[in-house]
A and B are shown apart, each in its own frame.
Chain A
Amino acid sequence: MTEKKRAAASGGMAGLFRNQIFIPIAALLLLAAFNLIVDPSFFKITLGTNSEGYSVLTGNLMTILDYGSEVAILAIGMTLVTAASGGQDISVGATVAIAGSVILRILVGLGGDGTLQAPIIVAFLAACVVSMLFGAFNGVLVAIFKIQPMVATLILYTAGRSIAAWINNNELPIVTDKTFTYFGGFIPGLPVPTPFFLAVVCVVITMLVLKFTNLGLYTQAVGINASSSRLNGLNPTFIKWLSFVILGLCVAVVGLIKTSRLSTINYSVIAKDIEMDAILAVALGGNALSGGKFNIPASILGAYVIQFLTTTLYKFQVSSDALPAYKAVVVVLLVVISAPAVKEKMAALSKKMKTQKEVG
């Protein structure tokens, strides 16, 4: 290797370290290495038949792809909201409940016997419209009334599950139709869980939109400095509002997945604390929670890292109630390692070591 090439390679390494996506990748590798050492069978994927008689892939990695996709879809919208408004939407879990409730109301109706009353696509589109309206409501509070996003979405956080229960008059409709289970399970003939495909579709659409429109650039501009972006001819109010509407769309997709998994709904439990996971995914992706620059692939990777961690903990017989405690320890370790103050100290330390070596 010539001198020049080596320099380029080391530059690439340094660039990777500075790159935002480094944090989730490092976390992922760390978790993977840990599992590989403790129990390599963690990565085993088997092709078996499930209860429906389809041949599907099962294994921990498939579980991660399956359940991580919910958070990944939300993380797309959450990243945009965070970037544009410098705050987070804590109402997504409640809005997922509303979207799911709308889907069931249209599919089965009140007092229905479980057969489909309307095509699934109609129910899904209706859920999209409803959750985009709720997103728009949050957006109006944040963009026009200039209320801090966390506080504005606290309203829907408090009321959302009540509204969801009210939509179905507190009944729990059950869908008996098999096709409805495809969205949260498997499509016959495809061995990979459907939520993963839905996540891929969402990501591809988002990436195409960001590539062919100026949305990404405008969002960053508004997030970094709303008033100077206004002076440059952008409309910060509209862009902030739009980010909440986009999040609403993401929420509707997750609502479909969540209700499809159970074929019914539980208003107080469905998607509980998913907003925290989504925000965590954004933070793990190295995005500043105070807004500005953002990196959607990093957030999505962050979402899968969270699910990887959860699955790993389940593997070690941690009960689902105690899970948050371990999660918290890992989260604190991750954010401490990636904190700028700690990084500076580490850099200073390694510099000191180097000079000592040279002197010695």
Chain B
Amino acid sequence: MAKLKLAGVSAPSSKKMTDSNLLLLITVVIFVVMYAGAMIFLQKGFLKPQTFFNIMNANAALIVTSCGMSLVMITGGIDISVGGVVALVSMCCAVYLDYAGGNVFVSLLIALAIGLAFGAVQGYLVAYLDIQPFIVSLAGMFFARGMTTIVHTAPFNVENEAFVALKGTRITVPGMGTVNRLGKYVDAYVEIGVIVAILVVILLFFVLKWTRMGRGFYAVGGNRQSALMLGINVKRTRFMAHLLCGLLAGIGGYIYFLHVGSGSASHASGMEMNAIASSIIGGTLLTGGVGNIFGTLVGVLSLSTIQNIVSSIGLDQAWWTGITVAAMLCLFLIIQSVILSRRH
């Protein structure tokens, strides 16, 4: 009775709030509190807008791959091959640009083709042959990592002129610059990857919210049987999710390549786990049916902000990053679990 009253007193919108929105709200609040805390207690670095943009620059690739991961997770699957695909894309593009002297546009096409190929094969195996997504993408990860060393073993920097010019392109953010120690005004900037990442987030937000395919993802992830009864083509929907995830891994791979400007077999190691962690922090459930692309963006930002905070506090011993990220993940998971179990 008391519970009912309480629900009536608080805003009516909270009564209708879906799991997805509630989890998103928690994430956003924690991110804002964390960043504000860093601004107040750590000051110097975090007060500058450029610090935030640097976080964006370094994590644009992770944002894009995490979006793909969220799509697959919403349909109830998982794709742990994305890190491998990112490494393979950067290596292939690097080899193409430096050894074949190719042009930048074709290298972009190569990146997209690799991503699509991984997405299509994995999607076919998962959706049409009904093999567990974990095993399929595990094989995908092994294959991508192995192929990366077969393509080229030693890491190297790309010196292709057109590419280096593109890599160095900076887009100034108006009004966000700061005055440096010498009294000179320095513009704040972002890299091209950030623009692409934001476009991807916006596009996917609309796709998930208002298109037939997007709603299909949620329906299939929520309950496959009832989605089938509603007349949704379950197989094609799952295939599309994996295909899109592969494509986004390809795009993410190119953004990563654009950021680091080199090819190496050890690139993006553990990225798949970061992508999964970001999606979870952003409120996507691995069981499927619940998730939000905007949450994924906030998830990536939270993850990288905590890493930044750890390193700026001075806990630069390598193990602290791992432990704090894990502790944060643990906290988020328990909050989610407690809240969801109370609601049901």
Residue ranges of A at the interface with B (Cβ–Cβ < 8 Å)? 88, 141, 145-148, 150-152, 154-163, 165-166, 170, 276, 279-280, 283, 289-290, 319, 321-329, 331-332, 335-336, 339-342
Contacts and interface: CB of A to CB of B under 8 A. Distances in A.
B147 A325 contact: yes
Nearest to A331: B139
Given A146-B341, A321-B146, A339 B277 contact: no
Interface string B305-344: 0000000000001111111011101100110111001000
Nearest to B324: A159
A325 B144 CA distance: 7
Interface in B269-325: 273, 276-277, 280, 285-287, 317-323, 325
Given A158-B322, A328-B142, A148 B286 contact: yes
B265 to A, nearest CB: 6
B211 interface: no
Contact of A276 (B138, B277, B280, B336): B138
A277 to B, nearest CB: 10
Contacts of B139: 327-329, 331-332, 335
Contact of B146 (A158, A323, A340): A323
Contact of B286 (A150, A155, A162): A150
A145 B153 contact: no
19 contacts: A150-B134, A154-B273, A154-B276, A156-B326, A158-B273, A280-B138, A289-B132, A324-B141, A324-B143, A325-B145, A326-B146, A331-B138, A332-B143, A335-B131, A336-B125, A339-B129, A339-B131, A341-B128, A341-B130
Contacts of A332: 125, 136, 139, 143
A325 B321 contact: no
B39 interface: no
Nearest to A288: B132
B287 A148 contact: yes
Nearest to A327: B142
Contact of A158 (B132, B140, B326, B341): B326
Contacts of B106: none
B78 interface: yes
Contact of B130 (A323, A324, A340): A340
A150 B333 CA distance: 12
B280 A159 contact: no
Given A141-B330, A159-B325, A170-B319, 5 more contacts: A154-B329, A319-B153, A324-B145, A328-B143, A332-B125
Contacts of B265: 321
Contacts of B153: 319, 321
Contact of A162 (B136, B140, B321): B321
Contact of B333 (A152, A325, A328): A152
Contacts of A158: 273, 277, 322, 325-326, 329
Chain B interface extent, by class: 35 or more
Given A158-B273, A158-B326, A331-B142, A151 B129 contact: no
A147 B338 CA distance: 10
Contacts of A157: 273
Contact of A324 (B146, B280, B321, B329): B146
Interface of B: 78, 125, 128-132, 134-136, 138-143, 145-147, 149-150, 153, 265, 273, 276-277, 280, 285-287, 317-323, 325-327, 329-330, 333-334, 336-338, 341
Contact of B337 (A146, A170, A322, A331): A146
- 7 A-B pairs with the lowest CB-CB distances in the bound complex, closest first: A325-B146, A162-B319, A159-B326, A162-B322, A324-B142, A328-B143, A328-B142
A335 B136 contact: yes
Contacts of B287: 148
Contacts of A341: 128-130
A336 B131 contact: yes
A156 to B, nearest CB: 7
Given A321-B153, A341-B130, A283 B330 contact: no
A31 B285 CA distance: 40
Nearest to A156: B326
B338 A145 contact: yes
A155 B326 contact: yes
B135 to A, nearest CB: 5
Contacts of A319: 149, 153
Contacts of A276: 138, 142
Contacts of A170: 317-319
A88 to B, nearest CB: 7
Contacts of A279: 134-135, 138
Contacts of B322: 158-162
A288 to B, nearest CB: 8
B319 A145 contact: no
Nearest to A325: B146
A312 to B, nearest CB: 15
A27 to B, nearest CB: 14
Contacts of A147: 333-334, 336-337
A191 B258 CA distance: 55
Contacts of B125: 332, 335-336
B131 to A, nearest CB: 5
Contacts of A280: 135, 138
Contacts of A160: 322
B221 to A, nearest CB: 13
A321 B149 contact: yes
